[in-house]
Structure 1
Amino acid sequence: MTEPRFDVLAIGNAIVDVIASCDDGFLAEHALDKGAMRLVDTAEAEALYANMGPGKEVSGGSAGNTCAGLAALGSRCAFIGQVANDQLGHVFAHDIRAAGIHYAVLPREGEPPTARCLVLVTPDGQRTMNTFLGASQFLSAASIDPALVADAKVLYLEGYLWDPDGPRTAMQGAIECAREAGREVAFTLSDAFLLDRHGDDFRAMIEAGEIDILFANEGEALALTGTDDIEKAIGWLAPKLPVLVVTRSEKGALAIRGDERVEVPAEPVAQVIDTTGAGDSFAAGFLHGYVQGKSLEESLTLGAVAAAEVIGHYGARPEADLAQLARERLG
């Protein structure tokens, strides 16, 4: 088999994170609950964006964050996600390419505009998040290039994007392309709330052998298997998957591959500032180790290192040199 050009190809919501400072008065003026996370429509997203003060705009989204972590560790990555042909769409494309990630999806003309997560940070450090999914929900099957899928060792799919019909069809097509090319498929469940709507789909994919690496946190694993006992959940999932990875917050993480089970503790963190993106970064660390042929223990450790870095500051992207942190940790 030809050596692929990329280590990981990720498909997910193409979202621009817009982070700006504000005071409590701004939140009150716009009837925003401090510290809350909510979805907003086009009109509110545009109005709030227009009224926000100067801020930082960076490409985001769960799978996009994982790509950023992978690239920072030295992996070769590509990303598929839909933006609109507007200012924030250009910001997203420039930012993700500047991180060394291959991105070639054509912007979408017309409405809705590019997805954005408007993050308002008050002086007390509270983050009030307003997410507009916009154009990211209109990723089409035509955006999936079979040659690109075949040119990556691992296809990584974001569960969040399973909600809308178009992107779901696109990801199903990408799975077929990966299978035909003999590549591996990794899937992250993203959030337990998705299991209410799509649990049957995810369980069917697992039973059909369409997923090679499943990422789940403890709550997602319990919701997927319908139990309140994590060992029972693991016992149901592990025999059906080539690789199962379960994160357990401060209790660390575990991975199972066949008869091999490995657990690692969480990495020490001086102060937990913001857990946004911790799971995305963990997946980046693990996948980086995995595609490099490292052991499960080393791959889990890299995941823990990447997660610890991102929760030590605001924002879902690494700020420290992840590659250096990895070298220091593994030697």
Structure 2
Amino acid sequence: MPAAAAALALGLTACGSGDGGGSGDGGELTYEDSPLAEFFTTGEEAEFDQEAEEARYAEESARIEQLVAECMAEQGFEYTPMDSSGSVSFGPQMDEDYDAVENARQNGYGFFTWEDQAEENPEEFVDPNQDYVESMSESEQTAYYEALSGPMVEYDEDAEMETEYNWEDSGCYGSAQHQVYEVESDQAATMDVYSDPRWEELMTAMSATYEQAQSDPRMAEINEAWATCMADAGHADFATPQESMDSIMNLQNSFWEDNQDDPDYTGPTEDELATAKEQEIALATADYTCQDETDFATEQMRVQFEIEQEFVDENRAELEAFSEALAGAEQ
């Protein structure tokens, strides 16, 4: 998909999770300013329509469920499609009124606060297949789930695990998702362009611009300015915003890791949860405030885009050929 490749090309900008403050000299950069962006667009690009995307996702999910039911019937099992309508949301649109700092004050990073947000629109999930599966013997259940999602892979910590996804090994769901996303999708032709071996070297070289930017000395200076701001705010243990966010994710994981041998464990106590939420909100608020005060996102974009421009200057002919192939696929 175009978005996937754009994310590869603009990977660094995703690290700038603030609200994109000024650049320090009156200029403000956005994703659209990327020198590589022009090669991933094909003219008039429609603005992101959240409602349309949610409707598309719901339609695709319904189609997948239909195909899964047909596939399971062929395998000798009953399967009632699950209704995902109304359950899909891409979250708040980050329009010009979005305030990352204010959002952090309310929701932190979203690790310990997501249940509070979910309670605003509670929806209890009910699997329509639960009673049917529970009526089976253990061996029948194993066969059912293997038909549904593919054979279970036993984890061997001493063995090298195969990480490449293969839809053919993923049961009826794998087959259905392949059919919907790779065969029926109107973006299938576009995806073929990205997977064409002709562009493999170009894509690899392009992704390397991100790694180059990460190791650029100017990035260290940008991170240092943010870290100094965080230390002044009482959070001196982090070198980058990612480390800050990871610390809360690790805290969340620790509750379960520390109680993995307790089959009755259902999560942190109310007191533990309250303390964790307070810690998360305080840290996230400081993080986004410091990103805003140091123009973190814009300054990182500035470095990334300069490196991208060098790449474009060196590979313009091939990038233009790729863009033409992309345009042809999307017609």
TM-score by length of 1: 0.23
> Which structure's CA Rg is the greater one?
2
TM-score calculated relative to the size of structure 2: 0.23
User: Which structure has greater helix proportion?
Assistant: 2
